[in-house]
Amino acid sequence: MIIDFDQDADKLLEYFEKTWVGQKKGRGQTSFVSLTTHSCHLILGIRRTKPQFSIQTWNVYDRVLQDLPRSNNSIEGWHRAFNNRVSMKHPTITKLAKCILREQANFEMDIERIRVGQQPKPKKKIYAALDSRLKRIVASYNFESVGDYLARVAANVEDHIFIELDLLVQLLLIRINYN
């Protein structure tokens, strides 16, 4: 069981490194490479290949500090609501056009409300509090204590994700620090 877990963990970490942070390059090289996205520095202490997805593409460090969305969840929510308003999987062109025109009219009314000083719908308190906690954690980032930083961020992720993320963070840190 432990051997299977170690092999599965190795596969997961290899995928994670190859896809998101880059795989180790060369043997025993300890020159420091700083992977940055504007003000975010992650010192890994080893040379790495270019990952499949650049760190600037997926890293949300700067977005958190600038109070910008960390995900596209609001867009996903709009898509779901629009699909519900259309109310069928394969609408006719006419029905789809009417729904799009109605959506455009609603959108223009929302813009006008904001333009005349009305506040947009506020975030739910639970999400505003989460954003505030994450911003404090991100603002206090210190590259010398990456493990502590990642643990504090992971503690603010939903419970069902926390266990998986925490395990991944621990395994990744073990691999980075000891390989």
Q: What is the pLDDT of residues 137-151, one digit of tens each?
A: 989 887 767 788 888
DSSP string, 98-151: HHHHHHHHHHHHHHHHHHTTPPPPPPPHHHHHHHHHHHHHHHT--GGGHHHHHH
Q: Rg (Cα) of the chain, in Å, rounded? A: 22
pLDDT tier at 55, thresholds 50, 70, 90: confident
Q: For the residues 158-173, what does the mean pLDDT come to? A: 52
Q: Percent of the chain beyond pLDDT 70?
A: 72
Q: What is the dihedral of CA 176, 143, 151, 163, to 10 degrees?
A: -40
Of 89, 38, 81, 31, which Cα lies nearest the Cα of 59?
A: 38
Give the per-residue pLDDT at 104.
96
Q: Are 99 and 82 in contact (CB under 8 A)?
A: yes
Return the ∠ at Cα 124 (arms to 71 and 161), rounded to 5°.
50
Closest CA to 146 of 166, 178, 179, 169: 169
Where does residue 64 rank: exposed (0-12), middle (13-18), buried (19+ CB within 10 A)? buried
Average pLDDT value for residue range 76-103: 92
26 vs 11, residue with greater confidence? 11
Distance CA 91, CA 133 (A): 43
- 162 pLDDT above the threshold of 60: no
Check pLDDT > 80 for residue 14: yes
**Quick one: pLDDT at residue 45?**
55
Per-residue pLDDT, 157: 74
Lowest-confidence range among 9-18, 80-89, 103-112? 9-18
